[in-house]
Amino acid sequence: MNIGDDLRGAVRGRVYTAGDGSFEVARRPWNLAVDQPVRAVVEAADADDVAALVRYARLNGLTIATQPSGHGASGNTGEVILLRTTRLDDLEIRPDERIARAGAGVTWGRVLRAAGPHGLTGLAGSSPVVTVTGYTLGGGLSWFGRMHGWASGSVRAFDVVDAAGARARVTSESDPDLFWALRGGGGDFAIVTAVEFDLHPAPRLYGGRMVWPVEEARAVLDAYREITERAPAELTAWYELLHFPGAAPLVAVDSAFLGEGGDAETLLRPLDKIAGRISDSRADLPVADLGTITAEPTDPGPGRSRAELLTGLTDDVAAALLERPIDPLLSVQLRHLGGALARPSGTPAGHLDEPFALYMFGVPGEDGGTAVGARQQEIANALVPYTTGRKPFTLLAPGERAANAFTPGTLARLRELKRARDPHGVFRSNFPVLG
């Protein structure tokens, strides 16, 4: 009997192994540039099925890597059983309590569509197809983080399966150590089958993208610096250098504002003084349309990313970013942080002293991404005096480690908990804390 037959006898969900017609599709991550070798893929039928899989893995000395949608994959999956939790898709919105409960397969787009009509929002990021659970286990860097902090800080409870295959509900009272670790420490400690979290008021949302020719990049950056110096917590703005294949390079500012559009327009007024604007999609938005601001792809594709945290947006930083075209990168993005993200969070994500995040993205070519990686390294090298070396867990890229995301004290605590709660190594995060 092979592992596929064993697994089909242990779980009720779908099982894929090498040689099955759908195996290659089932094992692939969201980022198609990442090779993800696995022994088998299991699509669990429900939480009890997850528990059965964990008991099987522990009995047979095997390891499970959980990916609801494949976002954040690092390729660190050799010989694992890849668990998909997309069928755990129950969603409950309790508007009177401002609470949501989402199964491990629920995406942020679904949550926002359900919460928005009640004037509420979760702390979603820029993509509607990322799952709540995977995003939150990594901390969750939201459009609304300046106002409300890390998404993980809004969690009230987790439904989990532990390394022994037992189901449990984890809260700050029932298991404070595990609750702390799951709120931003990654997926190394238990398999989360559902998460319960606070919703936040969003009676008005205004946002969109403004675009200019790249020749205005310096003027737009100067205006962006002016805006972010005095931006209230309700406003988050991102500056982007863009160069899409076959098109002229561009510069853009994306913004999201929790409040009236007129107030946002006043705050963003320095941008109105810049001539040559190509487009402006800013408008009052239903919360469900949050993902339209950046219009990120909603289908898998190849990419190579790199993130850094910046200590400031000085003239030298501006010069390094604008020195020459970003080609072969598609985008170089500055995300304004600060606000609630700069305050202690009580989670492994901690707080961010750095006021900006730099995010660089490109699509690997025939060279396998060598040129993209070299350009990212070149920009990172130019900014070394203004970067700290730390990266948010949620923005880690293949080849990086959990140690890049956490303070030494936090990493030591996470490692101690991993050894205590999963001594046999049943679980493997995309970025293991012991790696």
The class (CATH top level) of 206-395 is alpha beta
CATH of domain 3-84: 3.30.43.10
Task: Give the angle subtended at the CA of 26 by the CAs of 304 and 186, to the nearest 5°.
Answer: 55
Pick among 1.20.1070.10, 3.30.465.10, 3.30.1130.10, 3.40.50.970: CATH of 91-201: 3.30.465.10
Residue 1: predicted pLDDT:
52
Q: Is the pLDDT of residue 2 over 90?
A: no
Q: Is the pLDDT of residue 126 over 70?
A: yes
Question: Where, residue-wise, is CATH 3.30.43.10 in the chain?
Answer: 3-84
Residue 66: predicted pLDDT:
97
Once rounded to an integer, what is the mean pLDDT over residues 139-158?
98
Helix (H, G, I), strand (E, B) or coil at 333: strand
Q: Is the pLDDT of residue 197 over 70?
A: yes
The whole-angstrom separation of Cα 172 and Cα 162 is: 16
pLDDT per position as a tens digit, 351-366: 999 999 999 999 999 9
pLDDT per position as a tens digit, 397-416: 999 999 999 999 999 999 99
User: Residue-wise over 48-71: b if at least 16 C-beta within 10 A, else e?
Assistant: ebbbbbbbbbbeeebbbbbbbbbb
Residue 180: predicted pLDDT:
98
pLDDT per position as a tens digit, 85-120: 999 999 999 999 999 999 999 999 999 999 999 999
Mean confidence (pLDDT) of the chain: 97
Residue whose tokens read 């286990």: 137
64 and 191 Cβ atoms separated by less than 8 Å: yes
Q: What is the pTM of this model?
A: 0.96
Question: Where, residue-wise, is CATH 3.30.465.10 in the chain?
Answer: 91-201
The whole-angstrom separation of Cα 355 and Cα 309 is: 8
Residue 21: predicted pLDDT:
85
Question: Where, residue-wise, is CATH 3.40.462.20 in the chain?
Answer: 206-395
Per-residue pLDDT band for 19 (boundaries 50, 70, 90) equals confident
Helix (H, G, I), strand (E, B) or coil at 123: coil
The whole-angstrom separation of Cα 106 and Cα 135 is: 11
Once rounded to an integer, what is the mean pLDDT over residues 423-431?
97
The whole-angstrom separation of Cα 372 and Cα 360 is: 9
